[in-house]
Structure 1
Amino acid sequence: MALWKPDPTFYASPRDAVNAPPEKLAYVAAFDRSAARPDAIAVLDVDPASGSYGSVVGWTDLPHTGDELHHFGWNACSSALCPYAPHPHVERRYLIVPGLRSSRIYVIDTKEQPTSPQIVKVLEAGELAERAGYSRPHTVHCGPEGLYVTALGGANGEDGPGGIALLDHTSFEVLGRWEVDRGPQRLAYDAWWHIAHDVLVTSEWGTPSMVEDGVDAELLLNRRYGHSLHFWDLRKRRHIQSVDLGDEHQMVLELRPAHDPTKQYGFVGVVVSVEDLSASVWVWHRDGGRWAAKKVITIPAEPADAAALPPVIRPFGAVPPLVTDIDLSVDDRWLYVSCWGTGELRRYDVSDPFHPVEAGSVRIGGIVNRTPRPARPDLPLSGGPQMVEVSRDGRRVYVTNSLYGSWDDQFYPDGVGAWMAKLDATPDGLTFDERFFPHDDDWRGLRPHQTRLQGGDASSDSYCYP
């Protein structure tokens, strides 16, 4: 009698994930800013014992142009082992890849040919609009009963409200809008959860018209971008509370809840304060019967010669850090904070989430400094650490340098370049892996954005057992 066995890359607990075998491949979304060529999923060899380590070893072009691939995720992950909605027969096999500008969603099979993933389904924008009322899909999370896809816009690119569409695990059809009662929520960005407590959290960026042509200085100075967190009843799909961080804190983006399912706290990054151009990281937490948020990290702007600055920030005479991504290691000890403007990746020890301690920093790129990597001091780099992904065991950190096409062009008007770096992480600090630096022609003229690691990574899975 044959027995079903769960996918071996599903982990019951964070401890199991940390002790699992290391990844050997990385999948990276890369896009063509001109929209003249198709975007692609690049496959990189991340096995140090391989002769092609650090190289692009696979490439899947999409069939259309103008998608602008951004964030993507797995069809299934460790949440499939959760006891109240188990799906142990599914596999971590497909990448669910949205086009942020086109509103298409691609389903890409990595199982049969891991270095040559195959497109097996394309959801057109009309299906997302008709069945869920959304457009501009942004973030994908694998939940125990389906795929959660956050979206910035209303149907056909309308300016909201944005929200969450739910996709079927196996057919990948759009089931419909997730929210039953959205309350005051209108702006959208990320969504994640405290899955064992039936709590979902969402954050805010802006509607399509607010983001697609770059940062709108008038909207920013008038404090119109998102500045709140929203908390939901995950089972009932109802809004229960908003927490406003203050309208000076503009663009509340990446959510990183504790991986330990017994904990009810998490971190969120804020891109910029309009009062002093600083960036910040906040911890949300339970405060009695309510939710609260506290600023625990502030990263100041760095003074700079106005003549060296791009027009969008020249009047301020300083470089904002622009915290555009954060990532929390699976053991919940290390928080990585990417400062895309200053070209810095910071690490904090968050063993006490309310009192982070800085525990390492590296510089690469940056609006003004253009810091080269140590092995090539003659090669100044544009862009900065943007998307950051941490391996399950916490020993490897991958960063890519492109944020979003129109924003790249504003902050790096002479060109953002194309590169990906890897850092080795130990309790003592961070060091660049000089064997790993795909850049320029390796990306075939495209810009690399988000990374997903074979078998899961620090920002793809949620666990139901401590």
Structure 2
Amino acid sequence: MSTPAVDPTFYRSPAEAIAAPPEELAYVVTFDRQAQQPDALAVIDTARDSPEHGRVVGWVELPTKGDELHHFGWNACSSAFAHAGHHTDGLQRRYLLLPGLRSSTVHVFDTHPDPKQPRLVRTISAEELADKAGYSRPHTLHCGPDGIYLSCLGTARGDGGPGGIAVLDHDTFEVVRAWEADRGPQQLAYDAWWHLNQNTLISSEWGTPSMVEDGLVPELLLGKEYGHALHFWDLAEGRHVQRVDLGAENQMVLELRPSHDPNATWGFAGVVTNTDDLSASVWRWSREGDRWRADKVITVPAAPADADRLPPALKPFGAVPPLVTDINLSVDDRFLYVSCWGTGELKQYDVSDPAQPRETGSVRLGGIVGRVAHPAEPDRPLSGGPQMVEVSRDGERIYLTNSLYGSWDDQFYPDGVGAWMAKVVTDPQRGGLTVDEGFFPRGDDFRGRRAHQVRLQGGDASSDSYCHAR
């Protein structure tokens, strides 16, 4: 009997991923804010020499309406090498799982045999998620060492209890269980990532469904009731080990980006805003002995602005908060990308010394006040700003989309957020950022939907964890 070949997009090490062929397609989830049309998965041509470069070449709609697609991910990735023998039984990076943040339904699409036209093959109902794991409002999805990890904001009833992680079967996509065996003080949920070789999972905090689904609630923000802590867990046991509070003034600890080096014990967490001065920040976690700590390593200040140019929610403050809503770390752990959705800026930092980031590049697109145009249409101001950011495996291309979350879009861009996707290029050794004028899907390309997260064919900087240093 022959042994099935290992999926070539499972990389044993970061270096192997960087050396792999570049992506030729990008998958983008889109949603209809009015829930009059089904949400959809768009396929964008990213091949360098393709005549269709930067165009939508595939489109598939959900069978339902009102899901609000948000974050999504692959069924399997390079973490397959952490499974004892599992990677030899035909497991492939083949299926994309698309959670509906409002519907709590997860749609599973098969990208084979035609990667430009994925097919719906399985639907995980809100009832199955609630009955088997006790959760709702699925948010972030990662392929993990013993299943697919799906972080959820709410309980089966929505509010009324802690959010957490549901585990799905790698092969059948059935909901298996809640991951937590002992959650300790953890209540709020958002992202979850890990250091596989350290048997450590890290989770972050946003809020319960009622705290986020209708927009930012000023009373909760000023009352410092959104999440402001990191949690460290025993990955194998699902047991809470330590809570690290970043300070109640640092509200909404969202994206987590652990080092790709499997032997390292540090990573970065983004904080949306500080209630004292509206700044945003990035924190570095690290381990000292058997304890974890977090230190602020980047502060992005708010930008003063004329109140007449601000949306109602910001008029009393006379400033635009950066609103760091996503961060991304290149596969070689060299550059950190920080998206400032409020000011319309993407920042690049050299983090060769992760304790002392050094800014090496910046581009602006959109922004609450700036409305900086894309070079492809220099006379057309953009709404929204760099929000979700995804980095190619080789570190040369950075893809951006401009929508945060329907109700938050409307709150901060009340005249309309539009829909667009951009590509920024960099030198992966020296840094520096330039907007690619020839890559700009927008408007009608997305058929009336807003664009949110991007996943790259063959994997990207935020979808894989590695088991081998070389």
Give me the TM-score of the superposition, normalised by structure 2. Answer: 0.98
Partner of 1:447: 450
TM-superposed CA distance for 1:2, in Å, is 2.4
1:159 CA displacement: 3.7
Determine the C-alpha separation between the residues in 2 that align with 1:148 and 1:2.
31
Distance 1:326 1:104 in 2: 26
Q: Could you say which residue in structure 1 is the equivalent of 2:464?
A: 461
Kindly provide the amino acid, as one letter, of the partner of residue 446 in structure 1: R
Distance 1:98 1:361 in 2: 32
Partner Cα distance (1:161, 1:430) in 2: 40
Residue in 1 that maps onto 2:309? 308
Paired position in structure 2 for 1:410: 411
Superposed, 1:238-257 pairs within 5 Å as: 238-257=239-258
Alpha-carbon distance in structure 2 between the residues aligned to 1:149 and 1:83? 18
Q: Which residue is equivalent to 2:95?
A: 94
1:51 is matched with which residue? 51
Instruction: Output the CA distance in 1 between the equivalents of 2:85 and 2:249.
Output: 40
SS in 2 for 1:235: coil
Give 1:259's aligned residue.
Answer: 260
Conserved? CA contact 1:85–1:145, under 8 Å: no
Tell me the distance in 2 between the aligned counterparts of 1:459 and 1:317.
Answer: 35
Identify the residue that residue 161 of structure 2 maps to in structure 1: 160
Counterpart Cα distance in 1 of 2:118 and 2:410: 30
Counterpart residue number, 2:299: 298
Q: CA deviation at 1:4?
A: 1.7
The equivalences for 1:147-186 within 5 A come to 147-186=148-187
- Supply the distance in 2 between the matched residues of 1:287 and 1:160 (Cα, whole angstroms): 32
Cα distance between partner residues in 1 of 2:140 and 2:222: 27
- Judge conservation of contact 1:125–1:156 (CA < 8 Å) in 2: no
- The residue identity in structure 1 corresponding to 2:346 is L
Greater alpha carbon shift after TM alignment, 74-83 vs 147-156: 74-83
CA distance in 1, matches of 2:159, 2:111: 33
Tell whether the 8 Å contact from 2:376 to 2:440 is kept in structure 1 after alignment.
no
> Equivalent residue for 2:127?
126
Give the drift of 1:52: 0.6
Superposition pairs of residues 303-452 of structure 1, within 5 angstroms: 303-426=304-427, 427-452=430-455
How many residues were matched structurally? 466
Letter in 2 for 1:285: S
Query: Residue 376 of structure 1: CA displacement?
Result: 2.2
Distance in 2 between the 1:282 and 1:135 partners? 28
Give secondary structure in 2 for the equivalent of 1:65. Answer: coil
Q: d(CA) in 2 for partners of 1:6 and 1:32?
A: 38
TM-superposition CA deviations, 1:142-191 (whole Å, max 9, x none): 01210000000000323431000000000000001000000000000000
Structure 1 position 86, deviation (Å): 3.7
Distance 1:3 1:44 in 2: 34
1:442 is paired with a residue of what secondary structure?
helix
**1:301: how far off?**
0.1
| Pairwise CA distance, 1:377 | 1.8
Question: Residues 376 and 438 of structure 2 are in contact (CA less than 8 Å); yes or no, is this contact kept in structure 1?
Answer: no
Contact between 1:340 and 1:385, CA under 8 Å: does it hold in 2?
yes
- RMSD across aligned positions (CA): 0.9
Tell me the secondary structure at the aligned position of residue 445 of structure 2.
Answer: helix
Which letter does structure 2 place at the counterpart of 1:277?
A: L
2:17 corresponds in structure 1 to 17
Return the alpha-carbon distance in structure 1 between the equivalents of residues 6 and 225 of structure 2.
Answer: 46
How far apart, in 1, do the equivalents of 2:117 and 2:277 lie? 47
Q: 4+ residue stretches of structure 1 with deviation over 3 A?
A: 83-86
> What CA distance in whole angstroms lies between the structure 2 residues aligned with 1:75 and 1:201?
20
The residue type equivalent to 2:446 in the other structure is: W
Question: Are the equivalent residues in 1 in contact too, given 2:368–2:412 (CA < 8 A)?
Answer: yes
Q: Tell whether the 8 Å contact from 1:255 to 1:269 is kept in structure 2 after alignment.
A: yes
TM-score (norm 1): 0.99
Residue 66 of structure 2 corresponds to which residue in structure 1? 66
Structural mapping, 1:202-213, within 5 Å: 202-213=203-214
The unaligned stretches of length 5 or more in structure 1 are none
The 1:85–1:194 alpha-carbon spacing in structure 2 relative to 1, beyond 3 Å, is: farther
CA contact (8 A) 2:277 2:302 kept: yes
Distance 2:376 2:54 in 1: 15
The alpha carbon displacement at 1:83 in A equals 5.5
Q: Distance in 2 between matches of 1:286 and 1:449?
A: 33
Matched-pair contact (CA < 8 Å) for 1:335–1:347 = yes
Identity %: 67
